[in-house]
A and B are shown apart, each in its own frame.
Chain A
Amino acid sequence: MSPGFQGRPRSAQPALPPGQYLTEDFPVLSAGPTPKVGPETWEFVVTTEAGAEYRWSWAEFTALPQDTPTVDIHCVTRWSKLGTTWQGVSLDVLLDGVDTGAAYALVHSYGGYSTNLPMADLRGGRAWVVHRYDGGDLPAEHGGPARLLVPHLYFWKSAKWVRGIRLGTTDEPGFWETAGYHDYGDPWREQRYAGD
C-alpha cells in the first residue's frame, strides 16, 4: 500500500482490462519512422506454409465485402480507448479459399515491423484488415493505408502498414515479441511482458 494514494473516483472507471486507464485521445506508438505507402503500390499477400501466395491490390482489396466494426482497443502502454469505429475486410474473407492447415501467423508490415499470433485469433470475426478509421481514411501515423485490427489482443498485435501474413506450422516471434513483450498478449489476463 502506498500511503496517501487515493486514485481516481472508482465510479468513474468503466470496465477496463486490469492495469488500463481510459483515454479519449488516440496515442501513437511506433518503433521507427512512419512508412509512406501509397495505395498505388500497396498490396497484401498471404503466404501459406506450402509457399502458395494469395495477393490483393488496393483496388481488389477495397472491392471485397466490407465490415464496420466498433471495438474497444487496449495498448500495452496502458491506455484503452472505447468504441472506436473502423472499416475494412474480415480475415475470414481474406482467408476464405486459402489452402492452409497452419496454426500460426506472422504478420509483416511495410517498414519491417512484424508480430505473431495464432491463426485461431485471426478467424471467427475477430480480426480485420482496416483502411478507414472514424469515418475517414486511416492516417499514416495510425497505420494507413491499411492495418491489422485484432482488438481482443493488446494493440501492438494490430500491425500498422500491414503488408502480408505468412502462415506457418511453428510459432515465430515478431518484433516486440523478441524484445521482451508477451507472445500472445491478452489484455484481460494482463499478458504484457514475456513470462506474464
Chain B
Amino acid sequence: MNAPPLTWRVARLVERRAETPTARTLVLDVPGWPGHLPGQHVDVRLTAADGYQAARSYSLAAPADGERIELTVQRVPDGEVSPYLIDVWAPGDPVEVRGPVGGWFVWRAADTAPVLLVAGGSGVVPLMAMARARRAAGSRTPFRLIYSARTPEDVFYADELRRRARDDRGLDVTYVYTRAAPVRWRGEPHRIGPADVNTHGWPADLEPLCYVCGPTGFVETVADLLVGLGHQPRRVRTERFGPTG
C-alpha cells in the first residue's frame, strides 16, 4: 500500500445535539477533510496542557458535508475522552482528528445488492451514516434496519429515523427493545432472536449485504443467526464495540 499518511487535522466544534441523556452528536469543522465512505471512523486526539495525549476511535455518523463531519459519542462512565467531548469541549476549541479509517465495514452506493443493517445500541452510528448516504446518493437500493435498543429513550436519531422510514422509499426500520418497549407496542421487551432477523431482514437467497454493529455479544448472536439462516459469512460484515473511554 502506497497510501499517503493520514495526517492529524485540527477540528473545531460547530454544534452539539442531544441524542439521548448520555449521547451527543457533535458536528465538527475539519479544514482539509478529504471525504469518507459511510461506515468509516476517525481517531480523535486530545492534548492536555502538559503535552499528555489521549485518543479514541469514533464512527462517522453521516456522509461528509464538505469539511463538516458528524460523530455521535456515548458517554462512557469513567471514560477519559468521551466526557470531555460531551461536557467540556467548547465551540472554537481545537481537537485533533485523523481519518478516515477502515475500508471493510463500508457501503458503496455503486453496490446495488439489498442491504440489511443490524444495530445494537450505539452500534447504530456507522449504520446511520449508510442510511443517510443512501438518501444523499439518490440510491434506490433497498435497505432494512433492525435497531435494538434498551428503551425508546435510548434510541439515537429517533425523529430522523421516523421521518426517513416514512419518506426514504425503500428504507424499512424495525425496533427491538430489550428492557422497556413503548406503550401500545406489540410484543414484549426481548433480546434480538431468529424471528426478528428472519421477519425483518432479507431472505438469504437475495444475497444481501449485511452490516452488524454493536457490543460483542450482540454481534456474535446476530452474525451467528444470519449464518444459520443461510447467509454467506462473507456477506456478513461486522464491527464490534469494545470499551472505549
Contacts and interface: CB of A to CB of B under 8 A. Distances in A.
Contact of B1 (A3, A27, A175, A183): A183
Nearest to B222: A33
Interface in B190-245: 216, 220, 223-224, 226-227, 233-234, 236-238, 240, 242-245
A177 B1 CA distance: 8
Contacts of A33: 223-224, 226-227, 233, 236, 238
A19 B245 CA distance: 13
Contacts of A25: 242-243
Interface residues of B, number: 46
B53 A32 contact: no
B52 A7 contact: yes
A123 interface: no
B222 to A, nearest CB: 9
A78 B47 CA distance: 16
Contacts, number: 124
B35 interface: no
B237 A32 contact: yes
B31 interface: no
Size category of the binding interface on chain A: 35 or more
A34 B54 contact: no
B6 interface: yes
Interface stretch (B83-91, B125-133, B141-149, B175-183): B83-91
Contacts of A194: 1-3, 5
A34 B224 contact: yes
A77 B57 contact: yes
B140 interface: no
A4 interface: yes
Query: A30, A175, A183 — which one has the most chain B CB atoms within 10 A of its CB?
Result: A30
Contact of A31 (B50, B52, B104): B104
A32 B90 contact: no
A27 B244 CA distance: 10
Interface of A: 1-8, 10, 19, 21, 23, 25, 27-35, 75, 77-79, 111-112, 141, 173, 175-180, 183, 193-196
7 contacts: A4-B89, A8-B54, A29-B240, A35-B233, A79-B242, A178-B103, A180-B102
> Ordered nearest first, which 7 A-B pairs have the shortest CB separation?
A27-B242, A195-B5, A179-B103, A33-B223, A194-B3, A194-B1, A5-B46
